[in-house]
Every structure is written in structure tokens, then in C-alpha cells.
Structure 1
């Protein structure tokens, strides 16, 4: 009967079951699992809502800064689209397994309008053991007193990857806070030379079993030297050394990055899709 009523917001009593579902797909669900493991399902702490139609074991979707479908059939995705379209859009992207994200986007596009960019094929990669290449010994965790040196590289990465300047809306205050939080939590990594960043990466999400790497960037003047492979090996090795799976996802058309990650030892475990919204 609950399925006939559409998607509902889950609450604290659903937390254990939600965690079981997320843990059954640990790499693909890492972004959301990290939040739920830390904050439970309270919307204020979670900075979003968890939706289901019929119970977490049957369907699941996270709605926050990103809309992330996690489990469900087409009718479940219809219920998520219906709930999402009832209110002003709050998310800046729709992301998740391609087999869920793309059908959900088809249901929402008529209400939300055309996307800024649709990335329909993004291999989701995982590394469970030590990297296959020697990690760069100069790649290390960034210190808080290095934020002014680190921030320009982070901004350059964001513009290159997302296509917009993260400083545009508020002069960069929000993005600076985000970067500062990554540094403070020990999840920002870089190689510095003469006080400037030549390689950077972040562990954007850290669940109990997976660390998802993001924001990989090499100074354009230094590309082709192998810094991407050895640097990412250093970050991935730090994740696996803590007993977690290292993961990341990459655009299918980025052949150089895909070759780099294959050299490090990453293998594909699923396919993501991302819809970037204005």
C-alpha cells in the first residue's frame, strides 16, 4: 500500500535499514553513506532528505545539494521525480548509477528544463589493494596554513572540471569554507614545489569502507610528467592503508585520465552519470 502513496521522507527509525542498503553497494553509495553514517537521517544534520517508496530495501533516493537515486525500479523513479518537482529545485546536479540517474533525469527534464551539461557515461573505478605504481613521496596532506597556496589550484580544478568559477556567486566565501573543511579534516592532498601546487586531489567522501577521490588536478605546465599517476597513487594508497576501498569516477571521454587511473590499478565497477544544472 505504501508504494501506491508515492515517495516519503525517511526518519530516524529507518536509519539502520538505510545503512544496510547503502553498505550493500559501498562504492556507488559512498557519497551518501558517509553522510548517513556521520549524521543519521535528521534532515538538518544530513543537509538533505532520504526518500523511499515502499521501504529502503525497495527504493532509495537522497535529495540535497545533489539528487542521488540509489535504488529502485521505474515506478520508484517516477515517485522521486514527482516529489522533487513539487518544490523549487535545490540541487545543483543529479548524479548516481547511470541506470538510475538517466531515467530519473528523463522524468524531470520537462519540469526542470535543459541541463547545463549531461555527462552520461562516467566509469566508476575502485582500487582495493596497494597501487601498482610507486606513490609520489612528496604528495602529502595539506596544512591549514597552506590554504592560500592551495586555493588557486582548487579553483583552477573546479573551473576546468565543472565549467564555472566557484567564486562567482559570493566572491568565493562558500568555496573557501569547503576547501578549508577538507584541509581541516585531513582530506586535501598536494605536492608543493617552491610554494605552489603542482598536483592536488581531495578525498571528497569517506565512508566506513570507501574513500572517494575527487578534484584530481595537475598544473597544466607539468602535465605529461607522470605526476597524475604517482600523485593519485599516493592518495589512493593512503585510503587503502586505512582499510578502505579507494574510488573515483571519470568522464568516459577523458582518455588521458582513464589511462592514468588504469596505470595506478583502478578497475571499473559501475557506470555513473551526472546532470549538471544551472
Structure 2
């Protein structure tokens, strides 16, 4: 009989954790980027990394921080992670990950953690490995400079509020969110088109490893929507990403956002899977 157990990973298990994360580099880009930068120490990582072991061998992971993220998780591993999550209580603001294990995790946790503020059950995961050939990159989209942080911040707040349904300035006054935006600007992973001091388009490369990166926070100022700026802007960001960051560029999008999905397809993205998000 197979012997299984679940526990928090030790820092010395970094190699084993990275091997699992890198087995699915696109789906795991968010957590892999954090682990590569911070290791497995919970304080530096911003959360615990749980491991599910079968016969003493690490098989699946679950990141437990601001997000709860099942990683390469079999149904048996998901059940073990759900048991641990019930015992510790909800500390996260969302559950997010590949749709199938995330759906099972939520079914197991909903009786204790529900109701959720919103469940986004199908968020197509899209990728591209090539510079767009059908859409001309907007030459005015560029990296944001550190001294432009105050210029980009209102657009970031507007995007987050529109996408998530709550302001990132709530709770701590936005200190953590502003720090994250500043981190991306400082890393050269925040991009925008700014006309006469106004942000017209913006997006960030939110997670990055040597294998894949993930674009997030795509936003066009409301009065400029419907003019194709998201396509040309995204084409520019993809070009930057492929040249400077990783050989595969990914993103995930809500299934009901038909215009965005069509726009990303025109830029060269194709759907390769699906994510799911549960928002509290």
C-alpha cells in the first residue's frame, strides 16, 4: 500500500520543488518565479510551500500565501491539501490554479470557506512563442521609468478595481500593492503608452522564469477602447518579453471576455489550457 503524507517543505528540498515546478513551466510560472527568487523559506517566500509525498517521494505542491495554488496536484494530493487548509483556516484572498485541481480543491473547501465573492471557473490559458506578424507593435509602448511611478499608479489601481471588483487600496491603504507595482517598474517589467502625461495603455510582465513569463494587468483607458490599442500594445509587450525575458509568453483571461480573447488571438496567442480563480 502506498504511504502518503503532507507537510511544509524544508529549505533543503528546493531542488525537488523546482523539478516539479519546471515540469509545467507555463502553468507554474507564477509560483516558480517566486521560488526561484526567494527559495522555500516562508518569510522570504511570502507563504508556505506544502508538499504531498507518496512513498517518501515529493509528488505535488501547494503554495499557501496570499493565494492558495495547487501545483501538479493529483486528486489524492488535492484532498490532502484541502484537509490541511481546513485545519489551518483561510488565510488567502483567492484560490487560483489549473482549472481541474482548483475546482476539486474548492469543492472540498467551500463548505468551510464559502461562500466566495466570485468564482471564475474557466479562464483560458494562452501562450505564444513568436513576435506578432499580424499586428504591428505600438512604437509608443515602452518601459516605465522609476520616476514615473506616480503616473502609472492610478492606471494600475483602475485596472485592479475593474478586474477584481475591489480596490487594491483597501485594508492597508494600498501599501503592499504599491510596493508590488514599484517592484515591477524597478525590474523593467512594467510597460505603457503615455500621451501628454496620460496612460493610454499599460501591462506588466508579472511573473518570469527562464522558461516562461506571464503578462498581467492589461488595461486601456476607457475613452480609448475599441481602437485596437490593446492589440498593438500587447504586440509591443510580447516583443519586449520574447527579446528580454523568456522564450514563452503566457496569460490567462476570463472566458466571458470574448473581445479580449479575440484580441489576444490576433496578436498570436493560442489557448493551451484553463485556469480557475476563486475570489474572497
Normalised by the shorter chain, which TM-score bucket?
over 0.9
Calculate the TM-score normalised by the size of structure 2: 0.95
- CA pair 172-59 structure 1, distance change in 2 beyond 3 A: closer
User: Where does residue 199 of structure 2 map in the other structure?
Assistant: 197
Q: Distance in 2 between matches of 1:40 and 1:173?
A: 24
User: Where does residue 46 of structure 1 map in the other structure?
Assistant: 45
Q: Does 1:25 align with 2:48?
A: no
Calculate the TM-score normalised by the size of structure 1: 0.95
**For 1:202-237, what per-residue CA distance to the aligned partner results, in whole angstroms no more than 9, with x for missing partners?**
111111211100000001100111110010111111
User: Where does residue 171 of structure 1 map in the other structure?
Assistant: 173
User: Where does residue 150 of structure 1 map in the other structure?
Assistant: 152
User: Where does residue 93 of structure 1 map in the other structure?
Assistant: 94
**Which SS does the other structure have where 2:137 is aligned?**
coil
Q: Distance in 2 between matches of 1:215 and 1:153?
A: 10
- CA pair 223-3 structure 1, distance change in 2 beyond 3 A: farther
**For 1:34-60, what per-residue CA distance to the aligned partner results, in whole angstroms no more than 9, with x for missing partners?**
011111111111111111221665221
Runs of 4+ in structure 1 displaced over 6 angstroms? none
- Mapping of residues 65-80 of structure 1, within 5 Å: 65-80=66-81
**Which SS does the other structure have where 1:121 is aligned?**
strand
Q: Distance in 2 between matches of 1:227 and 1:30?
A: 27
- Mapping of residues 1-278 of structure 1, within 5 Å: 3-4=3-4, 6-54=5-53, 57-132=58-133, 133-242=135-244, 243-277=246-280
Q: Distance in 2 between matches of 1:111 and 1:210?
A: 35
Contact 2:20 2:60 (C-alpha < 8 Å) held by counterparts: no
Q: Distance in 1 between matches of 2:209 and 2:87?
A: 31
- CA pair 2-176 structure 1, distance change in 2 beyond 3 A: farther
Give the RMSD, CA atoms, in angstroms: 1.4
Aligned length: 276
Q: Which runs of 5+ in 2 are unaligned?
A: none
Q: Distance in 2 between matches of 1:46 and 1:174?
A: 15
Q: For structure 1, which segment, 127-136 or 28-37, has the greater mean C-alpha deviation from structure 2 after superposition?
A: 127-136
Q: Distance in 2 between matches of 1:170 and 1:129?
A: 40
